[in-house]
Structure 1
Amino acid sequence: MTKRTLFYMPEQSNQGKGARAYLFDCSQSGHYSFGEAPVKCGSNADCVLRIDDSGELFEVVCDRGLFYVESRGAENLYINGGKAEGRIAFDDICTIQFNGRLFYLIVDESLAERAKGMDVSKWLVFHIDDGRIEDEVPFGRIRDSVLRRGLSGAGLGICPANFETGFHFSRVFGFQGTDVGELSDPVPVLAASSEYAVTCPLCWIKFDVGDAMSIASHESLRGDPVLGDDQMLRFLPTTFNDDGVALDAAGMPSPDIACPHCRRKLPPNYLELDQKIMSIVGAPSSGKSYYLSVLIRELQNSLYSNFSIVMKDLDPSGNMLLTQMKNRLFSARTPEEAILAKTALEGAMYERYPRFGKVVALPRPMTYSLSKDGTASTSMIFYDNAGEHFEPGLDIEESPGAMHVASSSAIFFLFDPASNYGFKNLLKGYPDPQLDISGRIDQQDTILSEMEVRIKRILSIDASKRIDTPLAIIVGKSDMWRHLLAGEIKNPISGGVLDLDIVESNSEILKALMLRIDPAIVAQAQTISTNVKYFELSALGHSPQMLKEGKCVGMIAPIPSKIAPHAVEIPTIWALSQTTNLIPVKGGK
């Protein structure tokens, strides 16, 4: 737990009226203490802010609305990276370092509110000049990380992973052969991504377009120091041909590009498109693979027939596994042929790439482009995660495969009625083998809660705040329970327009049903996002059958002749209407 020592600065003038100052200790668990200016900091008896074995370090004063730190001449005390001498003024924030301990002194309320969400279990090592991130590690591993990368430490800053103001690596750890007495930039600040920043579809780290790496083409350049001997060299291009294509060291055109963080090859034209990550969240065996396989087919058809939008593979080789699942399902002649294998944790749908210095399993991104009037403007990215990746207890640092939810443009929570006690109780006697599966624990409300915790932790959002990301609560397998609804669900797409009033009306009908059967889901959803809608759909359109013979005996399989998807594309089209200008809409607030 971060030590957060809070004290109140009394009124000194109208400008300083009601001002508060906060001292955050970046290393220890702690407490809050309160005092009035002038406030002394140190270990003496009259020091309100306690730092053990320090004597009297400094005093914080507020003079005519301006804040100052007055040093008492202590050795090894640095304010804003410089040796503490005399009275030092600061605006919103200053950094304090004493004997290896790091503090933030903050007098801006909004900045202090963000600092309260600091996660000091992870620190970023970054280049001060351009904000490029080298690593994300616990504080105790920062020095080793820098040395392991062959860096001297010059020009590097460090800061908690979700807070941009930092400290000089050289001031905190020192580095051989360099005088740290004078530092040109006293307060390193992790620069925000520019308007040209893009998000890598694999590791979900932002980078500026100009930092993208090229992938060598000449066979003599096979071997990358990070990815290994079987991968082509990644490099920052310095020479180009007449068409603007990067040339590798052998003079060969090298059009392929890679993320500078994980070094994975990016889809063609990815940097020119507006990226939209669509995160699908659901419990194990909730039907995510079937839903995603059907969605791609239905979405392609609906976008073109209703809105003249062409959706096509942006990365055919990267999308190959999903394409195979889609083809297997819709070309099957028997139920056995239509079975899709459950997505295994870190199985074929995952790739192993470096992320912040560790090689981890990350879900393969399935990327598609959206074109209207012949011009591609948007890319959509989907993932087929194993449901186990969303369960509580999984270490998201060691297995970060579901962290895309924090970078997503829209989130789809796939609720499975067949594993829910309330739905199963109302559907007793319904002839669907999914309702008879024993041993399944319904923890869907827990998974939704865990998703909220992860998102707010990664984004450093207070637990009481909500995100604005569209959240679709999708109640699947509606072919078996649609008769439970108290009202009629209407098609919101007509005449090339999405009717948001119908979307809202449908959502209220479904929300009322969920409040009656499982109100915990509704309660959880409302605490996550300010933009929640409820949808019903059926990926298969019928009840599958239990196989009683053959090599797949005991498995549940779709019946190919009865596959009739219903409303599968509606949540995604709604999400696109909320995040792009591609979908014409009417109604709505």
Structure 2
Amino acid sequence: MTSASPSSSPTSMRLLEKLVCPHCWAEFAPEDAVWIATHPSLYGDEKLGESELRRFLPSRFTPDNRAIDPEGSEATETGCPRCHLRVPRRLFEIPVVFFSILGAPGSGKSYLLASMIWQARRSMAERFQMLLTDADAAMNARLIEYEERQFLSSKPDQLTWLPKTEEQGTLYNRVQMAERAVNLPRPFLFTLSPGEGHPNEDKKATLSRVLCLYDNAGESFLPGADESTGPVTGHLARSEALLFCFDPTQDPRFRAVCEGKSDDPQMTGAGRSGGQTIRQDSILLEAINRVRQKAGMREDEKIGATLVVLVTKWDAWRKLLPDIATDPPFGKVDHDREAIDEDRILQTSAKLRDLLRRTCPEMTAAAATVSSEVIYMPVSATGRRPELDPESGQLGIRPKDIRPQWAEVSLIYLLARRFRGLIDVGRRKQDAAGSG
């Protein structure tokens, strides 16, 4: 049999020579992709099970280069030749960048991720004439649901909360690979492109990128966690930036410093995850050890990715650094566009790093061994303390009260530095305070 590139017409965008599967991270050429059958009699795939349509290498094509499945139906979607999971068309046409978000169980990753994307969509459009859109709504369904719960609730006065990220379930795909079933994390995919009014709008075809973002259950990074059922953290080795959520409410020393300065129930003890204390530096080091193992690196070798330590729940400890403003570090370039104030980000990073050195020194020490570039940022997914629901015992937030603080800053800053020409970054001063 022969295969063909997933091209729909002569006017379509030029395909990449190689692409990376966002599920299993295998590299393959577009012409090696498998196609997904559409005929209803062709359910049952050798890797994905009886509930999935069969993947196949086609021998017949329509005039516009669509594959024809074994029962004569036209196929419209393609998949990875290694894991057979669906690969959206965008990834055949636009280069992809990988970012990963990780942290301890209960560190607030899900809330932050929803606020991060929601705020980034708005800030990029309003401030930078950039578009951050869903590259695949089906893959982003869980995150879209989180955004709707927090920001588009039909009952904004009622408490809401997000479900805990599990090590298995809706955020993972079960695949039969190498004679065993494994769990592969479902990625969130976004298209980043210049919008109307952007100075490089005419270069959209060459400047656009796909952002592939991963969220893992905190338990996946606990030291000694078993990965025999699947490489659920394999994306770390591909990621150009790691966003580590450090939750100060889980550290008794940080809580002690906040005594009398915070009435957040997570600081005072109520509502914390079983009152447990987790060594968050161990979680970071365990994650990086896996990166080193997969890449064949020395145990003391630093990774090439930028590490951003996001100190979550800023609203609960803001009085410790009262001189840091909560408005985002963006400034005007002209009457229509803005730029990122990098000096302010690095100054904030230095102050926050010094605070952590005084309260949780092993965290900053661990971060320094991980990457040559470490940036610290304060973030709050909601901008206010949660409330304890008397009936369920859950900590929740009323959507009408949500006011995220710096939730989107890390993502926009990383993308701006990675892809020059899309978002302006203010000139960096010689004193790069906050790095390393």
CA distance in 1, matches of 2:144, 2:324: 34
Q: TM-score, structure 2 length as denominator?
A: 0.84
Of stretches 389-398 and 529-538 in structure 1, the one that deviates more from structure 2 is 389-398
Corresponding letter in the other structure for 1:577: A
The corresponding residue for 1:511 is 353
CA offsets 1:133-171 (integer angstroms, 9 cap, x no match): xxxxxxxxxxxxxxxxxxxxxxxxxxxxxxxxxxxxxxx
Q: TM-score, structure 1 length as denominator?
A: 0.63
Structure 1 residue 371: Cα displacement: 1.8
For residues 335 and 393 of structure 1, do their structure 2 counterparts lie closer, same or farther at Cα, with a shift above 3 Å needed? farther
Structural mapping, 1:287-302, within 5 Å: 287-302=108-123
Q: Does 1:470 align with 2:322?
A: no
Q: Does 1:584 align with 2:420?
A: no
Corresponding letter in the other structure for 2:161: I
Structure 1 residue 382: Cα displacement: 2.2
Equivalent pair of 1:215/1:234 in contact (CA under 8 Å): yes
The corresponding residue for 2:232 is 401
CA distance in 1, matches of 2:305, 2:294: 14
For residues 300 and 218 of structure 1, do their structure 2 counterparts lie closer, same or farther at Cα, with a shift above 3 Å needed? same
* Relative contact order, higher structure (CA 8 A, sep 6+): 2
- Look up the SS of the partner of 1:367 in the other structure: strand
- Look up the SS of the partner of 1:411 in the other structure: strand
Report the count of equivalent residues.
392
The corresponding residue for 1:351 is 173
In structure 2, which of residues 49, 53, 76 is the aligned counterpart of residue 228 of structure 1?
Answer: 49
- Look up the SS of the partner of 1:338 in the other structure: coil
Corresponding letter in the other structure for 1:443: R
The corresponding residue for 1:424 is 255
Q: Which has a greater percent of strand?
A: 1
Q: Does 1:572 align with 2:394?
A: no
- Look up the SS of the partner of 1:523 in the other structure: helix
Structure 1 residue 327: Cα displacement: 0.7
Structure 1 residue 413: Cα displacement: 0.1
The corresponding residue for 2:163 is 341
CA RMSD of aligned residues (A): 2.1
Larger Rg: 1
Corresponding letter in the other structure for 1:531: E
- Look up the SS of the partner of 2:208 in the other structure: strand
Q: Which has a greater percent of helix?
A: 2
Structure 1 residue 335: Cα displacement: 6.8
- Look up the SS of the partner of 1:481 in the other structure: helix
In structure 2, which of residues 221, 224, 227 is the aligned counterpart of residue 390 of structure 1?
Answer: 221
Equivalent pair of 2:44/2:50 in contact (CA under 8 Å): yes
CA distance in 1, matches of 2:288, 2:215: 19
CA distance in 2, matches of 1:404, 1:573: 20
Equivalent pair of 1:350/1:362 in contact (CA under 8 Å): yes
Structural mapping, 1:241-252, within 5 Å: 241-252=62-73
Structural mapping, 1:14-163, within 5 Å: none
The corresponding residue for 1:446 is 282
The corresponding residue for 1:370 is 192
Structure 1 residue 396: Cα displacement: 2.3
The corresponding residue for 1:433 is 265
Corresponding letter in the other structure for 1:246: A
The corresponding residue for 2:402 is 563
Q: Among all aligned residue pairs of Structure 1 and Structure 2, give the percentage whose two residues are the same amino acid.
A: 34
Q: Which runs of 5+ in 2 are unaligned?
A: 1-15, 195-200, 333-337, 431-436
CA offsets 1:113-140 (integer angstroms, 9 cap, x no match): xxxxxxxxxxxxxxxxxxxxxxxxxxxx
- Look up the SS of the partner of 2:375 in the other structure: strand
In structure 1, which of residues 490, 494, 515 is the aligned counterpart of residue 331 of structure 2?
Answer: 494
CA distance in 1, matches of 2:46, 2:137: 27
CA distance in 2, matches of 1:336, 1:423: 31
The corresponding residue for 2:39 is 218
Corresponding letter in the other structure for 1:497: A
Corresponding letter in the other structure for 2:63: D
The corresponding residue for 1:265 is 86
For residues 357 and 584 of structure 1, do their structure 2 counterparts lie closer, same or farther at Cα, with a shift above 3 Å needed? farther
CA distance in 2, matches of 1:288, 1:331: 19
- Look up the SS of the partner of 1:342 in the other structure: coil
Equivalent pair of 1:329/1:337 in contact (CA under 8 Å): no
